[in-house]
Amino acid sequence: MQFLFEEDGALIFRRRRELMKICAWGKGLRVIATQNRAFSGRDWALDTPMQHPAKVTVSEHLAVIENGNIRAEVTEYGKLTFYNAEGKLLLKEYYRTWEYGTEGWRELDQISQLRAAGREYRAVGGDNYALRVRFEPNAEKFFGMGQYQQPTFDLKGSTLELEQKNTQASVPFLLSSNGYGFLWNNPAVGRATLGTNYTEFTARSSKQIDYWIAAGGTPKEILSAYMEAVGKPPMMPEYALGFWQCKLRYQTQEELLAVAHEYHRRGIPVGVIVVDFFHWTQQGDWQFDRRYWPDPEGMSKELDSLGMKLMVSVWPTVDRNSVHYREMEERDLLVRVDKGLAVTMDCWGFEQFFDATNPESRAFVWNCCKENYRKNGVTLFWLDEAEPEYTAADWELYRYYDGPALECANEYPVQYARAFYEGMRAEGDEDIINLIRCAWAGSAKYGALVWSGDVPSTFKALRNQYNAGLHMAMAGIPWWTADIGGFHGGNIHDPAFHELLARWFEFAAYLPVMRLHGDRDPHDKPPLGKDGGGMCFTGAENEVWAYPPFLESIMEAHIRRREEMREYLCAVMKEAHEEGAPVIRPLFYSFPEDKNCWQEHEEFMLGEKLLVCPVLEAGVREREVYFPAGADWLAEDGTLHRGGTFAKVPAPIEYIPVFKRK
């Protein structure tokens, strides 16, 4: 009886209840497995067809499939092992069981009475299973997986929720120091355990196992193969490379224009200025409240004359009182609630999210925004609440066009970004960028600039942003940023906050996007009204001149530093667009042969030429720097540091250490 066979250039395994297919996909191998009678047909993040014939060899007890740098071996019992082209073991499924051969029963792998398989299925109803995939541990380091608010650099030993939340973005691509990249191509709610005893991915409810793996000699080679498979970002428009001014929240058109003119009067360049949430008549109306924003088109033209682009906040929430609620409900364009009240969020009313996985719903929301925003001069959109942020994150309650939330919830931010990207492309826009609060695999190709959400205004949070940004970069999200100063809790009169804001501003000057934002204290301004665009509170001032002179000068100096880097940033963004390269990079990405670069040094590369060494703790005025081997490094004062060495360098409150690769 033959359990392994070739079909259309792919390797098929069928035995007992399980059906598995391994095929060449781009520069890697894709593995799909199920206990259903057929595969689901869903490609999720691998939605650009890249399957092609592979080299398949089938013998009596073993089959091999090869594609470029990677090779998989499958036994007649279905056990999978992956090697690179040189024969190095990359990844092996975790099995603890017995098999019968010519010599009788024999154990596989280890002496143990434990029975465990690398792929496990537990029926949870209908065609869905709780899935579990396990691999043997290696002596390796892990990076990527998206954004988690923790200070962990090497993720080995971590357990990560595969769930979207405010400040948490699950982007399940793992880059291993052992020479491979692994995409868990499944948007189901689940968990990743990157343990020392095994590596495990689970899905609470899904129709099939689906993952992609590629090998490479360097992290750059691996990440490049991954970005080809899931999509590279557009070219970042040049206006987005400058400074973005934002706060929670400008209450009126008059107030925003006054801020814009004051920046212009002071000669401080601003690329983007932002209208935050609750400028609208109602959640789900997607339009300005003309009592407070009487002439959006005129406002946009005035900002253009000052060299500034206008961005507005969009929420996916549709309030019961929205002008669109009844139509969207009748047309089934909202996220369904299977149990209880039809409410997904409680925020100044009862709201439901629009169903971003539904093409008809995406078109509906975009058309509203096109008519009410884009035609009034809005250049880009701030796609907030993109997880989306359920008031009760009980995934069993909700259902999307693409299936139950348990099965597909993690794809929501991708489809949210897609709605605006495809709408803007249809209007003739090319270099598209939209700010969004969450991401999943494949978000980059839809122009998603991810920011890290509503993080607190603390040095601990700043330290977490350093790791969050680098892990997002290694997960295939090249455009990433954070609210400068944090979102919650920064008092504009507090000297401790002044130091934090200075260090955060200096750090952000070297991020893909430099955006000042936050809900600043004290809250001493009452709302302007009781409904619509007047009902929401506002925080304290958050412009550079709202702070003491020493801090204002630091911020202005770094805005001008950002302008001086514009040509270099354009080149780095072009590399991201054409090659899928990250904008900010862990040291090991650029210097993989230097073992020191795989350690945590609180440093990163901006492109290939700038070594950035942020200050992430209060009171620090000098810090140790490691200079990667393979290059020499030039300080701003002309001091030359040899590669492969450590040195203590000055880090006064006015700047952080930055070195040019010589």
Structure tokens at 436: 């969004």
Q: Angle of helix 459-474 relative to helix 495-508, nearest 10 degrees?
A: 20
Is 384 considered catalytic here? yes
- Alpha carbon distance 420, 366 (integer Å): 6
364 three-state secondary structure: helix
- Alpha carbon distance 474, 589 (integer Å): 9
Burial bucket for residue 564 (CB in 10 Å: 0-12, 13-18, 19+): exposed
Side chain identity at residue 55, one-letter code? K
- Helix segments in 528-620, DSSP class H: 549-564, 566-579, 587-590
Q: Is the dihedral of CA 495, 501, 507, 509 positive or negative?
A: negative
**Active-site entry in 289, 384, 402, 407:** 384
Is 531 considered catalytic here? no
Structure tokens at 585: 């990079």
- DSSP code per residue over 10-74: EEEEEETTEEEEEEEETTEEEEEEESSSS-----TT--S--EE--EEEE-SSEEEEEETTEEEEE
Q: Return the C-alpha torsion angle 88, 90, 96, 98, nearest 10.
A: -40
**Active-site entry in 200, 285, 387, 506:** 387
- Alpha carbon distance 11, 57 (integer Å): 9
- Alpha carbon distance 330, 238 (integer Å): 42
Q: Are 126 and 114 in contact (CB under 8 A)?
A: no
Q: Are 227 and 565 in contact (CB under 8 A)?
A: no
Q: Which CA distances in Å does 45 have to 91, 187, 474, 495? A: 22, 9, 16, 46
Is 387 considered catalytic here? yes
Strand 18-25 relative to strand 104-107, pairing: unpaired
Q: Please count the residues of the chain.
A: 662
List the beta bridge partners of residue 133.
119, 201
Q: Which CA distances in Å does 135 have to 90, 93, 461, 569? A: 10, 4, 33, 40
Residue written as token pair 């000699």: 217
Side chain identity at residue 475, one-letter code? A
Structure tokens at 3: 């359990």
**Active-site entry in 454, 483, 519, 594:** 454
Residue written as token pair 């070594």: 611
Residue written as token pair 């203590």: 648
Torsions phi, psi of 456, nearest 5? -75, 160
295 three-state secondary structure: coil
- Alpha carbon distance 570, 528 (integer Å): 42
Provide the annotated active-site residues: 384, 387, 454
